[in-house]
Amino acid sequence: MTNSKKIAVCPGSYDPITRGHVDVIARAAEIFDEVVVAVVNHPVRKGSTLFSADERIEFIEDATADLPNVRAASFDTLIVDFAREIGAKTIVKGLRAISDFEYETEMNQLNRQQAPDVESLYMMASPQFSFISSSGIKELAIFGGTIDELVTPKVAARLKEELAR
């Protein structure tokens, strides 16, 4: 058994980070020595983002300030290459529903083909967060819905400011 530090990476667009994301990150932080929340700089699947990578990182740093073994960083490579670059052997992802599982199964197979040494760990969303998505929160914000319990105060304020324009 080695004494090496166990590092995990939690990748995503985090546009913006939600309480559901924070739940998965906090649970991963209990398992790993270090968790790097990896913000994709230019998402392919979801198109352009509402917030810049720097602002999304600020939101993550604010939301995880009480988790000393968590840090945020942006990446614009394959997630397995980023994981190797930071010394992570595990990719941690949250699953909310069957649709997440289907997509993540495909991503897992592609990642395993590229980097068999990097494992994927999937955490089921806690029930109170299983319906939360960044896109759903943005839609609520656009139409004046209540988002204050779904995101941090900083994110709620910025969403209201940005989407009121």
Residue 140 has pLDDT above 90, yes or no: yes
Does the residue 165 lie in any domain? no
CATH code: domain of residue 57? 3.40.50.620
Tell me what the mean pLDDT of segment 137-144 comes to: 92
- 1 domain residue, yes or no: no
- Say yes or no to pLDDT of 165 above 60: no
43 pLDDT band, cuts 50/70/90, is low
Query: Is residue 42 situated within a structural domain?
Result: yes
Query: What digits encode the pLDDT tens for the residues 74-113?
Result: 999 999 999 999 999 999 999 998 888 999 999 999 999 9
Q: In this predicted structure, what is the pLDDT of residue 34?
A: 98
**pLDDT value of residue 98:** 86
Residue 163 has pLDDT above 90, yes or no: no
Q: What mean pLDDT comes out for the span 47-63?
A: 94
Q: Is residue 14 part of a domain?
A: yes
Q: Mean pLDDT score of the chain, rounded to an integer?
A: 93
- Look at residue 72 in the predicted model and tell me its pLDDT: 98
Range of the domain at 27: 7-130
* Cα 130 to Cα 39: distance, rounded to the nearest angstrom: 21
Q: Is residue 142 part of a domain?
A: no
Position 124 pLDDT exceeds 70: yes
Inside any domain, residue 135 = no
The CA angle 56-60-65, to the nearest 5 degrees, is 150
- Whether residue 2 is contained in a domain is answered as no
Strand 70-75 to strand 34-40: parallel, antiparallel, or no bridges (unpaired)? parallel
Q: Which residues contact 132 (CB under 8 A, 6 or more apart)?
A: 18, 19, 20, 96, 125, 150
Would you state the pLDDT for residue 46?
A: 61
What is the arithmetic mean of pLDDT over 46-61?
92
pTM: 0.93
Tally of structural domains, the chain: 1
Is there a domain that residue 79 lies in?
yes
